[in-house]
Structure formats: structure tokens, C-alpha cells
Amino acid sequence: MTVKLSLFVDSSSLRNFLRRDWERAESQLGSVPPDTMVKLGAVLSELAEILDGELAAKYLPLVGDMRKLKRFVNAILLMQIEKTNLGRTDFNRRDLINLMLLHLNYPGLFRQIYAEETEGRSGTFSVRREYGESEFKNSEAFSKAVAEHQGSARFLLTQLFEVEALDLGARTEVEEAVLRSRACFNFEELRNLESYLKLIVRFATPEPQQTFVLYQDAVERVRKGTSIASVLTSPDFDLGQGEHAHDQFWRVLVNQSHNFTGILAHEAIETLIEYLPRYSAFESDDRGLRQLRWFRSSGQPPGWNKLRLVVG
């Protein structure tokens, strides 16, 4: 006679596994290289945070026992995560986890998303803005797709793409770091969702120069005392590879210049003036590093001399 037992695992045990136990020899992951374990740990720590939050019950059907949890870990390892420095990408770890769970548990739905949202397409799932409007909206097709699914599939769709669940307001109210990282955006130059899908399916990651985090980190280093010149001469900003990285750096720096000190503002102006002869005089898509405009602006720090620099 065979008796089937339903074994329930406490959420605390799952969180302990995610935060530390998976690294131990008995977790059967001892053959994983140390650098891979560090990168894997960043994702698993995020999942542990999820299971520690108010939405934990929604995730338990998907990762609520050790078998499902180890299946998730193995799926991430198959993504060749050791080749991916997630800290140098714009990927939101929670969105990555949700898409991985869709891929593992609802492959048909995942294939539909992949078919509609790759190769430059914007389909049912990514958010959009109507012409002349500033607020993001879901498509009518998305509402129908959500209605067609139940349980965890519906939950994952809403967590990934639903405007209300993501608390998205008008574009002007959404920080650029959010615009460049969340999987719901997949239009014009913001091909975020396509990047996530290619990471999961093809193990492909964007070049550092295509990520917002590169420029945000560079500006933060400048705030903390690193000279702008040393940033611009670093390998990631090699002008031999084109001007895109410089263009993006100056754009982010200018956009965040409202709280610069006078010394830093002066350094920025002097460095840009020094670099201008090195940039092309031709515009691309109505933008160019030598196409500069200056206008009067009050409230800027000393050193701007009441002038604000606008690039492109």
C-alpha cells in the first residue's frame, strides 16, 4: 500500500535556503564556481526578500517547496549567469525572477510574450502611451490576456506589466532609472523587455555602453570626487568605439546637475569645453555633442554663472 504525503515547508526554511543553505555542500551545488555563486546569490537574495514580503503567499505555488526551488536555481544556472554581471546591467531582479517563473511554469505564455515583444516589436504585454498623452496604459489586448489566465499566471502578468500594479504615473513622474530597468517598457529606444527575453532564451546581455547603470555610476563617482576627465578616459568611454558613451554620460550628468556644487559645475563646464573639439560636428538623429545650447537659468550653483548647459 502506498501512502502519498503532502509535505509543507515553512517560508522561513525556504528563505534560509535562499540566503545561505544553498551554498553548503549538502545543497549539491558545491561544484558551482565561486564567481557564479556570487552572481546567483544576488538573484536568490531577491527571491528571499519576496518570500519575506506581503506577496509571499502568491509565490508559494511556484516556489513553495524545495523541489520547485532547486528547479528555479538550476534554471538560472542554465542561463550561464557566470557570464552575466547583473550589477552592470539595468535588469530589475524582481522582474527577472517573475519572467523566469513564467518561463518555467507557463512556457506557452512565455513563448507568446517572446513572439510579440522581440525583433523590435511592441505587442500585447508592454505598456504604451497614446499619441499626445503622457500617462502609460495597458493595451486592451493585455486586459483580455489577463482575463484568460487564472492563479499564478495572472498574478505574474500583473506584477510584470499592469500599470496599476506597477504604480506608473505620467512619464515625467517616472525616474529614468525606472524607465531603463523595468520589463514593462519595450518601445522606441527602451527595449527593456526584449533584453530580458534575450537574456533568458539566448543568454545575451547588453553591452555596458547600452546600459543606464554605467552612466549613473559614472555620475555618482564624479559626485564623490572622481574627476570627469578620468571617467572619460576609462575603457568604457573609449572614443575609438564611438561617441555614444560620451553623449549618454553628458546627458545624465546634465539632467542631474541641479544639486552640483560650484566646484563640480565649473569642472563639468571646463571639461566639456576641452572635449568639444574631439566630438563630431555632424548631428545624428537631431543630436550631437557639438550641437550645444546655453540659456539663462536661476537657481543653479555658483560656477554655472547662471548658465545651464544642455547637450543634444
Where is 200: in which H helix or E strand? helix 192-202
Quote the pLDDT of residue 47: 94
The most confident of the ranges 12-16, 242-246, 303-307 is 242-246
In whole angstroms, give the CA distance from residue 171 to residue 166: 13
Q: pLDDT band for position 2 (50/70/90)?
A: very low
Report the range of poorest mean pLDDT among 8-17, 83-92, 129-138.
Answer: 8-17
Higher pLDDT, 229 or 206: 229
Nearest to 289 by CA among 256, 308, 273, 311: 311
The amino acid sitting at 3 is: V
Higher pLDDT, 45 or 19: 45
How sure is the predictor about 38, in pLDDT bands with cuts at 50, 70 and 90? confident
Q: Which of 6, 29, 8 is nearest to 18 (CA)?
A: 29
**Model confidence over 155-213: pLDDT tens digits?**
999 999 999 999 986 666 888 999 999 999 998 888 999 999 999 999 888 889 999 99
The three-point CA angle 103-104-110 to 5° equals: 20
Residue 32 CB partners (closer than 8 Å, separation 6+): 40, 77
Residue 4 has pLDDT above 50, yes or no: no
What's the angle, vertex CA 175, arms to CA 76 and CA 299, rounded to 5?
Answer: 150
- Report the C-alpha gap between 205 and 91 in whole angstroms: 10
3-state SS assignment for residue 237? helix
What is the distance between the alpha carbons of residues 155 and 150, in angstroms, rounded to a whole number? 8
Say which residue, 122 or 81, is predicted with more confidence: 122
Higher pLDDT, 35 or 227: 227
Cα separation of 158 and 129, whole Å?
18
Q: Among the ranges 39-48, 108-117, 279-288, which has the highest mean pLDDT value?
A: 108-117
Q: Which is more confident, 17 or 226?
A: 226
Residue ranges of the domains in the chain? 7-85, 89-203, 209-311
Classify strands 186-187 and 190-191 as parallel, antiparallel or unpaired.
antiparallel
Contacts of 223 (CB under 8 A, 6+ apart): 264
* C-alpha cell read off for 275: 572635449
Give the integer Cα–Cα distance in Å for 257 and 198: 34
pLDDT tens per residue, range 8-32? 567 788 888 888 777 664 445 556 6
What does each C-alpha distance from 172 to 52, 106, 168, 277, 303 come to in angstroms?
Answer: 32, 34, 10, 33, 28
* DSSP secondary structure code for residue 128 in this structure: B
- Rounded to an integer, the average pLDDT of 125-151 is 91
